[in-house]
Amino acid sequence: MTDPEVQRTPRVGVLAIVGVGLIGGSFAAALRQAGVVDKVLGVGRSPGPLALAKRLGLIDEVATLAQAAAQADLVFLAAPVGAFPALLAGLLPTLRPQAIITDAGSTKADVVQAAYQALGDRVSQFIPGHPIAGAERTGPEAADAQLYRGRNVILTPLPENTPQDRQWLTQLWEHCGARVLSMGAAEHDTVLASVSHVPHFLASVFMAQVAAADDADLRLNLAGTGFRDFTRIAAGSPEMWRDIFLANRQAVLAEVAQVRDVLAQAEEALAAGDGVKLFDLLERAALARRFWGSRSGLS
């Protein structure tokens, strides 16, 4: 357990990235660019991506999970959330007493539960996190030191985490250019189900429907920018998103039910030829989207 009297400096001697793809690789690249990390270890299941990450300069050495835990000041879990119970359990035997573990998991309640079960009385060394950033690209070659600039990173700290450790991790994310927010795990999962998980669910379902059509080739040949923008996120990692949907399925199902209600209203207006109701719905959606785009800078 970290001594609460020790003030950490906002840098990392040894950073271990578990899952050196877009998210993990970008975190390493951003901290390197900021000049606050000395050495980066890469941990993963496949030697090919790790070798590529080393050639790209994202990591300095390839390590096993146990080797990483024995050396790292900070361990960043950027693997699918379904793998977290085994990863946390694998880190524990050699985890340094002053080390911090954090993660990039898109769900938090299940991750917090896994941390308590795996780490026991050393759970204070785990600070749950979720960077709200990503792209349809995957693998080390997708890593971008600018990925987190201007983006939100949500921390869902545990009661056992010290203020000093929370501040240290916050400062590291700020070195990446991110805005750091804090909230409870349950609140995180409810909100993210609406604005992250369900959009991906709907995009994937729609893409699957189009791809299954008898004239799918013709449809895709004629598809334009609207189709591209709506379906872009469906190209993400199936393993990662399967784990997210299953881990947060109650919140996702609740949001899908609400989407279904609004879809039914729109369908009824269309079937009845009710242009007024259809216009009202479209106008509300358009105004809300324009307002969000102007406020967030992500138009």
Quick: pLDDT tens for 75-133.
Answer: 999 999 999 999 999 999 999 999 999 999 999 999 999 999 999 999 999 999 999 98
Alpha-carbon distance of 190 to 159, in angstroms, equals 20
Domain boundaries, the chain: 12-183, 187-296
**pLDDT score for 240:** 87
**pLDDT score for 5:** 47
Domain 187-296 has CATH 1.10.3660.10: yes
196 vs 295, residue with greater confidence: 196
Mean pLDDT score, 271-288: 97
Mean pLDDT score, 194-200: 95
**pLDDT score for 137:** 75
**pLDDT score for 226:** 95
**pLDDT score for 297:** 73
**pLDDT score for 295:** 84
pLDDT over 50 (residue 206): yes
CATH label, 12-183, candidates 3.40.50.11540, 3.30.413.10, 3.40.50.720, 3.30.70.360: 3.40.50.720
**Residue pLDDT, tens place only, 142-192:** 999 999 999 999 999 999 999 999 999 999 999 999 999 999 999 999 999
Give the pLDDT band (50/70/90) at residue 49: very high
**Contact indicator for 200, 180 with CB cutoff of 8 Å:** no
User: How does the average pLDDT of the chain come out, rounded?
Assistant: 94
